[in-house]
Structure formats: C-alpha cells, structure tokens
Amino acid sequence: MTIPLVEGYMAVTGPNGSGKSNITDAILFVLGPKSSKAIRAGRLTDLIFDGGKSKNRADFTKVSLIFDNTDRMISWDSDTVKLTRLVRFTSDRENYNSYFYVNDQKSSMGEFDSLLTRARISADGYNMVQQGDVTRIVTMGNIERRRVVDSISGIASYDEDISKAANERQEAEMNLERINIVIGELERQLEQLEKDMESAKKYLESQRRMEMAKAQSVHRQLETAEADLEYTREQIAVHDNEISQLREKREELRKRISDLETEIKDKEAEIEAQVGPEYRTLKDKIESVKIAMATFADRMERAADDKEEQENSLSIAKQMLAEAEKSVGSCIREIEDNEIALKLKSGVLEEAKAEAARISGEMSSKGGEHTELQERLVRVEKAIDEKGSAEHRASIDAATAQTAEEEASRSLASLEEQVNGVGFEIKDCEWSIKKAKEDAGPVSDVKTFTEKILAAKREEAELEKQEADLNSAIRRISDEYNSLLAEKKVTERVTRGANAVTAVLEMRDKGALKGIHGTIMELGTVDPEYETALSIAAGGKMQAIVVDDDQVAADAIAVLKKGNLGRATFLPLNKMMDGKPRAKAIMSVKDSEATPSIW
C-alpha cells in the first residue's frame, strides 16, 4: 500500500477499525528506531499482522518513508531519500530481527538514527499528535508538564548529555581503577622478575665456578697422566726385562688418555650447549626488565612534577581569593564612609539653600521700592558719566579752539546749563535715595543680607563640586565593588555547596534522613601521598553524596530547597551501572602478539 502525503492539509477518513491510526503508527515506526514507546504497540512484533479471522499470520512488517531531499536537509547525496525499516520473526517466532535500509541499501540502526537526528526528525516531536495526547497534556501534572517544556526547550537533551557524561566519567574512573590493579600486578611481577634475575645471576656464577673446577680437575688429571708416562719410560730404560709389560701398560695408558680427552670434549660441548642459549635468553629478559624499570621511574617523576605544579596553582588561587575578600571588605567600608560624608554634605547644602531662600525672602519683603531706587540710581550714574564725558570733550575743544571764542562761549554756556540740569537731577536722586534709605532701614542690613546670599551661593557651588566628586568616587568604587562582589558570589556558591553537603551529612547523623552513605571523600580510601593528586583529578566530585536510590536523593533535595541550604550532587546506587571492558581491550588481551605498554 502506498499513501502519498501531499503538501498542505490532508485528511484521511474512515470508520472505526479501518486502519487510520496505522498510518501514524507506520510513520512513527520508521522515525523511532530505538524502541516501540513512540507507537501504540507494546512490542515491535505486535505491528506484524496476526492473520485476523483467517489466522494467516504474516512473518514480517515493512514500512518505507520517502522524503524530498532537494534541499539536502538529510545528509544523503540524493534528491529523494527512502528510509525503510523491516521487522521479521525468527524461525521459532519467539524472537525477531530488525533491518534498516537507506535508498534500498542495507544500513544499520546507528546510521539510520544518525541521519534522522542530523535532520532534526524524531518520533518524539510535538508536531506528531496521537490519540489521547491532547487529553494527556490537559490533565498532566505540573512536574510532567515541566518535563514537556524542558524537552521542547532542549533542557532535557542537556540533562541526557550530562547523564551520559557522568556515566562516561564513571566508566573512565572504573577503567582507571582497573589500570591501577594491573599496575599493581605488574609491579608484583616485576619484583618476581627481579628475584628471578638474582637467581639467574647466582646460577651463572655457580656455572662459572663449576667450569673452573672441571678445568682444574682435567688439568690435574693430565699432569698425573704425563707423570705416569714419564715414570713408565724411565722404568723401560731401567728394566729391559719388563719392556713388554710396560708397553702393554703404555697402551692402556694411551687408551685411558684418549678416553679422557673424548670425555673432556663431550663435557665441554655439553657445557656450551647448556650455558649458551639460556644465557642469551636471560640476558634479553634482564635488558627488558631494565628498560621497563626506567620507563616506570620516568612516569613516576613526571607525575610528581605535575602534582607539585597543581599544588602551586591551588595555593595561588587561594591567595587571590583571600586578597579579593579583603578588597571587598575595604571597598564596602569606603562606600559606607562616602555615603556618610555625602549625607553630611547634603545636609549642609540643604541648610545653605534654606538660608539663601530665607534671605531672598527678606529681600523681597523689603519691596520693589528698593529695587526701583537701585535701578534709578544706576540710570543717574550712567547719565553723570555721560555728562562728564561731554564736559571733558568740551574742555578739550575750548583749549584747542581759542580762536573760536564765540563758539566756545556758546558751548560753555550750553554746558553750564547741562551741568546745572545734571546737578539738579543729582540732588533729586540723592533726596530719593535718602528717602528710600529712611524707609528701608539701615544700609548695613542690606549689605549683610547681600553678603549672606553671596556666601551661601559660594558654599552651594563648593558643595555641588564636592557632591560631583563624591558621585564620581561612588561610581568608581561601585564598579570595583560589583567586580569583587561577583568573585565573592562565586566563592559563596562554592561555600553554599559545602554547606549543603554538611547539612545532608548532619541529617544523616541525626537519623532525619535514611539511606545516605556519605561522600566519595568519606567512603574512599587512598594512601596519604596520593590524596592531593586524587583531589585535584576528582575536583568537586569528591563531595558527591552516595545514597541508596533516587527517592532518597529527591527527599534530600527537597529538604535543601526548603531550607535554602544550597545544592549538592547525589549518586543513587540503583542508577549506577557496572563498567565493562571495551571490545578492543578484550581483543588486545587475547592477542598473543600484542605488546603491553606497561610492565
């Protein structure tokens, strides 16, 4: 059966039981290759036709999805991508096998899943709404709804990555433990090899001594034979009558010498056969052991250097943290002092402003008459200055124009009239000023008020300048304070984590929480000389708390949240999985030609 899914809206109708939902199940069957949870079937074999009324059951089910890949959304170099999944019963119909195909080419579940993941196609997507999904979303609780939101926003995938990373870390730690066990076993083998080497040395020394003893024995035997031969010759010369007997004896002696020489050669060949190849083999083993010992010593030295460097870095970090805390305290005190000074200056400024307002009020209460007189006085003084200038110019004209006497006389008369008029105006102004002074009161009061206003304005300007300086200092100190506060928050976060661990352990000791075993640091045992290296390598995970199951962890987290005690990491034992050796490691162990990298 082929069902085209055209672009846009398409509806499939039919009576109940006609197989409408099977279309969705078929799509999800291809998109969800890892398990059957995305479809309605409990097991994948439930998707295989059971025969119905005819009981003619099928042996397999096969579904293909064909995608338009002209935009290369799926990482496959083809304009169309056909994803096919086949599930077939085994001969006994108790088990089944799954097969995957991409464009009719045999593939694997890993490659199949990788193509779907990179194309962001998943059976768990919320664009696939099945029967009961709407009702389930409406009736679900807050926790389950939160999980849906986390899955949509990608938080759930991050949690899965974190869990995967934690499992990989645990596997790596277990591998390290196994490596340490192997190293310990190799060290014991090394000790045994050293003992064997000492035994071999003793054996070689004994062999050397034995060869020396044999050589000395043969040499003495040879000397004895020669002495006997010489004695026989002397006896032959002296005793002619015993010559025949001596000849026989001589032949016997020669035969004996020949036998001894043959025996000597056989012994020498036997010694050479026993000593030569074994000596070379032992020598090769000794050289291999020496090389392994030198390599192990070099690794130990590098590990010691790394440990010292990390300890120095930790010491520097602690020192910087202490200095930062001191700087935070100093900045806080400086800000408090500046705030107090600003409040004092602000009070003085407010008092000065109030005094200026009061003086201005008193000045305004004296009325506009004083102001009017001042303005009139200014006008009169200006007129006097102008008339004075005119008189000066007239005098110059009279001095320089003595020949124009008539003109000078007329000008002088005119000036005299102007002077008289100005004098009259001056007298009138003086009388007005005198009258105003009598009405306004003593002049000293006005001067005092004016001086107070000017003093208040000067003080106000000075206070405004100080206020600007203080605001600038506050901004600068606030920036430093915020920077140091950020560092302090990081430190407090670490401290809160330690407080949370302490609180959980206290509740365990008091019996308030059951199923808590303790931290990794408490439960683990290590030689004192390796404590620093282990702490640096494990980091904050040394404070992880081991509990019986995830329910105990959930109860402890609820208590920490309720008391705002911080955060802690929990390791439920029911979620822990034993690590298994990798396939390559097993193959390497079984390979007789593989050379171990650690002795």
- Is 0.85 surpassed by the pTM of this model? no
Structure tokens at 357: 């307002």
135: helix, coil or strand? Answer: helix
Q: What is the pLDDT of residues 65-106, one digit of tens each?
A: 998 889 888 888 899 999 999 989 888 888 888 899 999 999
Evaluated on CA atoms 87, 90, 91, 94, the torsion sign reads: negative
Measured at the alpha carbon of residue 436, what is the angle toward residues 430 and 438, in degrees to the nearest 5? 105
Q: How far is CA 75 from CA 72, 120, 158, in A?
A: 6, 11, 24
Structure tokens at 518: 């303790």
Q: What is the pLDDT of residue 398?
A: 45
How many C-beta neighbours within 10 Å does residue 554 have? 12
Measured at the alpha carbon of residue 375, what is the angle toward residues 373 and 377, in degrees to the nearest 5? 65
Q: Which of 227, 228, 233 is nearest to 247 (CA)?
A: 233
Is pLDDT above 80 for 128?
no
In angstroms, the CA 378 to CA 370 distance is 12
Is pLDDT above 50 for 177?
yes
Assess contact for 102 and 115: CB atoms under 8 A: yes
Q: Which of 179, 130, 129, 122 is nearest to 151 (CA)?
A: 122
Q: What is the pLDDT of residue 51?
A: 76
DSSP category for residue 596: P
**φ, ψ dihedrals at 392, nearest 5°:** -65, -45
Q: What is the pLDDT of residues 283-295, one digit of tens each?
A: 566 566 667 666 6
CATH of 487-590, picked from 1.20.1060.20, 3.90.1150.10, 1.20.810.10, 3.40.640.10, is 1.20.1060.20
Residues 6 or more apart whose CB falls under 8 angstroms from that of 503 comprise: 559, 560, 563, 565, 566
Please, which pLDDT band fits residue 279 given cuts at 50, 70 and 90? Answer: very low
Q: How far apart, in Å, do the first and last CA atoms of the chain sit?
A: 64
Q: What is the pLDDT of residues 349-363, one digit of tens each?
A: 566 556 655 655 554
Q: Which parts of 548-593 fold into alpha helices (H)?
A: 550-563, 583-590
In angstroms, the CA 532 to CA 545 distance is 20
Please, which pLDDT band fits residue 224 given cuts at 50, 70 and 90? Answer: confident
Assess contact for 449 and 359: CB atoms under 8 A: yes
Residues 6 or more apart whose CB falls under 8 angstroms from that of 412 comprise: 394, 398
Higher pLDDT, 197 or 485: 197
Residues 6 or more apart whose CB falls under 8 angstroms from that of 307 comprise: 532, 533, 536
Is pLDDT above 60 for 207?
yes
Q: What is the pLDDT of residues 306-321, one digit of tens each?
A: 667 666 666 675 676 6
Evaluated on CA atoms 462, 464, 470, 476, the torsion sign reads: negative
Assess contact for 599 and 186: CB atoms under 8 A: yes
Please, which pLDDT band fits residue 370 given cuts at 50, 70 and 90? Answer: very low
Higher pLDDT, 202 or 160: 202
What is the residue-wise DSSP string for 293-345? HHHHHHHHHHHHHHHHHHHHHHHHHHHHHHHHHHHHHHHHHHHHHHHHHHHHH
Q: Which of 91, 3, 85, 102 is nearest to 44 (CA)?
A: 85
Question: CA torsion angle for 261, 262, 268, 269 (degrees, to 10)?
Answer: 160
Assess contact for 533 and 307: CB atoms under 8 A: yes
Superfamily (CATH) of domain 20-139: P-loop containing nucleotide triphosphate hydrolases (3.40.50.300)
Q: What is the pLDDT of residue 115?
A: 86
Mean pLDDT of 431-436: 56
Question: CA torsion angle for 29, 34, 39, 40 (degrees, to 10)?
Answer: 120
In angstroms, the CA 66 to CA 84 distance is 9
Q: Which of 51, 47, 45 is nearest to 90 (CA)?
A: 45
In angstroms, the CA 420 to CA 427 distance is 10
Amino acid (one-letter) located at 170: Q
In angstroms, the CA 98 to CA 60 distance is 10
Q: What is the pLDDT of residue 446?
A: 47
What is the residue-wise DSSP string for 201-238? HHHHHHHHHHHHHHHHHHHHHHHHHHHHHHHHHHHHHH
Mean pLDDT, the chain, as a whole number?
72
Measured at the alpha carbon of residue 250, what is the angle toward residues 249 and 251, in degrees to the nearest 5? 90
Span of 49-63, 165-179, 306-320, 429-443 with lowest mean pLDDT: 429-443
Amino acid (one-letter) located at 129: V
Residues 6 or more apart whose CB falls under 8 angstroms from that of 349 comprise: 460, 463, 464, 467
Amino acid (one-letter) located at 418: Q
Q: Which of 255, 251, 295 is nearest to 599 (CA)?
A: 295
Tell me which H or E stretch contains 241: none
Span of 214-218, 388-392, 540-544 with lowest mean pLDDT: 388-392
Q: What is the pLDDT of residues 496-524, one digit of tens each?
A: 557 788 888 888 888 888 888 888 877 87
Please, which pLDDT band fits residue 322 given cuts at 50, 70 and 90? Answer: low
Structure tokens at 516: 């808590």
In angstroms, the CA 161 to CA 155 distance is 10
For the stretch 392-397, contacts whose Cβ atoms lie closer than 8 Å and that sit 24 or more positions apart, written own/partner, are none
Q: What is the pLDDT of residue 563?
A: 82
Assess contact for 346 and 413: CB atoms under 8 A: no
Residues 6 or more apart whose CB falls under 8 angstroms from that of 432 comprise: 373, 376
Q: What is the pLDDT of residues 246-268, one digit of tens each?
A: 677 778 777 877 887 787 667 65
Span of 249-258, 448-457, 552-561 with lowest mean pLDDT: 448-457
Q: Side-chain half-sphere of 296: how many Cα atoms within 13 Å? A: 13
Q: Which of 447, 462, 458, 465 is nearest to 359 (CA)?
A: 447
Higher pLDDT, 330 or 486: 330
